[in-house]
Amino acid sequence: MSAHESTVAHEHHDEHESMSKALIWKVFFILLSVTIIEFIIALYCIPHGLISQEIGNFLYIALTIVKAAYIVAYFMHLKFEKIGLIISVVLPMVFLIYFVTLMIIEGNYLLPILK
């Protein structure tokens, strides 16, 4: 085995070393609990009037973003990458969410003018 093959094999082993079975189960139960909360909000709280539709939608979107962050961080191994890669993935997503929010706000602003 050459020095390069040894280094590549060692790096590949270190990449998955931080994901233990206990951590995987912990993340699974966190994702499961967030999903259960989303179902409670969508199927019980909003229809029965315990919270308003706007607050329910906001909570549902926020919890979905939390789930997406956990999936990207742990199961796509972004949490274990170098900071440059993390910034290059997270920063465009922040701008994308910001621009979509601005488009929604501006879209509602122009709607009364068209009527």
CA Rg, the chain, in Å?
Answer: 21
Let me know whether 67 and 108 are in one domain: no
Let me know whether 92 and 66 are in one domain: no
d(CA 50, CA 55): 10
Let me know whether 6 and 61 are in one domain: yes
Let me know whether 92 and 115 are in one domain: yes
Let me know whether 72 and 89 are in one domain: no
Let me know whether 39 and 49 are in one domain: yes
Let me know whether 44 and 90 are in one domain: no
Structural domain range at position 16: 1-80
47 versus 6: the higher-pLDDT residue is 47
Let me know whether 14 and 43 are in one domain: yes
Tokens 């122009």 sit on residue:
110
Q: What is the mean pLDDT of the chain?
A: 78
d(CA 13, CA 10): 5
pLDDT computed for residue 37 by the predictor:
94
Chain-centre distance for alpha carbon 2: 40
pLDDT computed for residue 73 by the predictor:
81
Let me know whether 71 and 91 are in one domain: no
Span 59-107, pLDDT tens digits: 888 898 889 888 888 877 777 777 777 777 778 888 888 888 888 777 7
Let me know whether 87 and 69 are in one domain: no
Let me know whether 40 and 3 are in one domain: yes
Query: Which residues fall within 8 angstroms of residue 30, CB to CB, at 6 or more apart?
Result: 70
pLDDT computed for residue 6 by the predictor:
52
Let me know whether 74 and 93 are in one domain: no
Number of domains in the chain: 2
DSSP three-state, residue 48: coil
Span 12-58, pLDDT tens digits: 555 555 678 888 899 899 999 999 999 999 899 888 889 988 888 88
pLDDT computed for residue 58 by the predictor:
86
